[in-house]
Structure 1
Amino acid sequence: MPDQPTLAQFRATMLAAGYDEVLERVWAPDTVVDTHTHPFEANAIVVRGEMWLGENGSERRLLPGDRFHLQAHAPHTERYGPEGATYWVARRS
């Protein structure tokens, strides 16, 4: 696994890159979120658990240290593993 930043480091880097806010999102075990969009760009790193992100007809498994990036209004699905998951996400409107 690549070196994972601290939340403070991630926040500082993302805010310096022009993102508006940085949040910690904690998901309960086995949560499934059907196809949806967000009005913001999202740039995130998984820090605990596992999740699957579906986009453009494919789904990928993400583990701690993995990153994902979604453009605003991009349709996607999310599902979370049996232990749930936590990720830090930078958002830009």
Structure 2
Amino acid sequence: MHRDDFLAALSREGFNQVVTVTRAPNEALDVHAHPFEAKALIVEGDLTIRVGDEARQYRAGDIFHLPANVEHSEQFGPQGVSYLVGRK
């Protein structure tokens, strides 16, 4: 999805807080949860998000969605990752 289309979709869906997140290569975040719902477009690199026993990798152009308070872990790829994320 194109960045402008993604931003328009976030606005329509009520994701009013939008930030860019950049993470270093080959790092990880242990199991945690956010008090907000998040929808993100991967801009560069890749990451793997694990929820319970299910892990899914996201690459540039992919979109991921996490409801609020869902416990998950994150693993960043060899080039790191940068993503545009809307929060609500």
Per the alignment, residue 5 of structure 1 pairs with 2
Which residue identity does 1:59 align to in structure 2? A
Equivalent residues of 1:28, 1:85 under 8 A apart? yes
| Alignment partners' CA distance in 1, 2:13 and 2:66 | 16
Q: CA RMSD, aligned part only?
A: 1.2
Identical-pair percentage = 35
Per the alignment, residue 52 of structure 1 pairs with 48
Equivalent residues of 1:29, 1:85 under 8 A apart? yes
1:47 alignment partner, SS class: strand
What is the TM-score of this pair, normalised by structure 2?
0.91
Farther off after superposition, 12-21 or 46-55: 12-21
1:2-81 correspondence runs (5 A): 4-6=1-3, 8-81=4-77
The CA deviation string for residues 6-50 of structure 1, in whole angstroms up to 9 with x for no partner, is 2x4422321222112111101111111000000000011111101
| Alignment partners' CA distance in 1, 2:43 and 2:76 | 13
For structure 2, the 5+ residue unaligned runs are: none
What is the TM-score of this pair, normalised by structure 1?
0.87
